[in-house]
Structure 1
Amino acid sequence: MLENRWETFARENAEWYIYTAPDVDFTTAEGRSFFDRSGREDAAQILAEAGPRLTGRGRALEIGCGVGRLTMPVSERFTEVLAVDIAPTMLRKLADNAQRAGRDNVRGFLSHEPWDTQGPVDFVYSLIVFQHIADWSAIVEYFTRIGSCLAPGGVCWVQFDTRAVSLPYLAVSRLPDAVLPRPWRKGIRRVRRSRDRLVELFESCGLRVASELRPGERHAFLLTR
């Protein structure tokens, strides 16, 4: 199960699996600084791209929060952040990081918990998360729930890998984990999705595509209600 894999990843080396920089040792002060800086840079870009359409700064929702690489900087800009993950160890590390940062406006939820019933959400975001989910039904469930809690006028910024499926990609996907480098193993490998199928899903959940950025490996969709 994906949940079990990411719980194992979280216990083994959470920061590396969240942000797979091959040459960085996240156990060092330099590595941790790199991790935090990368989160601030990515959060700033996401907020800059979503900002022109954002009408509220009350409640934000992050899908796949990990230990808070993006959650911490976003929590400085919103009254509250609902942070969702599938791994309990990720959420425990997130709580520790939020406490150290003095951020008491971050609330962690496991993916099956009722994060979508906490009230209207002004902003939803997710980066380098959905590209790892192989189960299409899980993606459908997430967006059904996102559509139910996104406030009228709310904004959703979400990233997928929409590169075309190639023969080498299919061949590597069929190899056992034992012969693959860590980034290609099940649970962390990138799963490519059809742009048209994603748009159809978004629309079925009441979400309209307002704009698209960087089609391909880091395809970002800006969705509104």
Structure 2
Amino acid sequence: MLVAGFLFGLMGVFVKLGAQYFSDLELVFYRSFVGLLVIYAIIRQQGLSVATHHWRQHLWRGTSGSIALMLFFYCITTLPLATAVTLNYTSPLFLTILTVLALKERFHAPLAFSIAVGFAGIVLLLHPTLERDQLVPGLLGLTSGLFAGIAMLNVRQLGLQGEPGWRVVFYFSLVATLFSGVTMLFGTIHPVSADSLLILAGLGGSGTLAQLAMTRAYITGKTLVAGSL
């Protein structure tokens, strides 16, 4: 999970660099599409099957992850990178609550205290740090953390049903590519240059590796432990 955190941070840097060439929706599409190509190449090379009996769960995971990604990329392009990343990293707080409710994991006093402190920190971050015209992007960043928490819970549920990590990443990339591809059509589509192509490659590569690492952590480890890392 620590590796995933580093790679997601690197992905955020590429989003910030790519914002001078593309809109946030375009960046979501390219990140998802490159990821889809990479994971499909791995699947073909190893002779794996993408057939699944859990397509509804994959659809839920793909939808929640796509919304989280779109909100996160929007915040990166409108807020300071550190602030956007911090807001998105509230996902473990939401994941903790969702895990207790959905997976019936034990809820105890130290956990409740940690959640309260975490949300108090969010309030402190939003109020003095952000300018008045940044409050809406800040709240959207917080919402991205909520949907990221839902997506992580979906990953854990798919793992409990026996789905391998690479298949979870494949269907997420597929749903996110289709979702962002459709929404991207309603805005301006910018041409890809030689310089921006390198940024897109870095964006897609770091994002895909981060997704694989995170998915493996949530499938093989304990949900709350992985989330806290």
Instruction: Tell whether the structures are fold-level matches, with TM greater than 0.5.
Output: no
More helix as a share of residues: 2
State the TM-score, normalized to the length of structure 2.
Answer: 0.28
State the TM-score, normalized to the length of structure 1.
Answer: 0.28
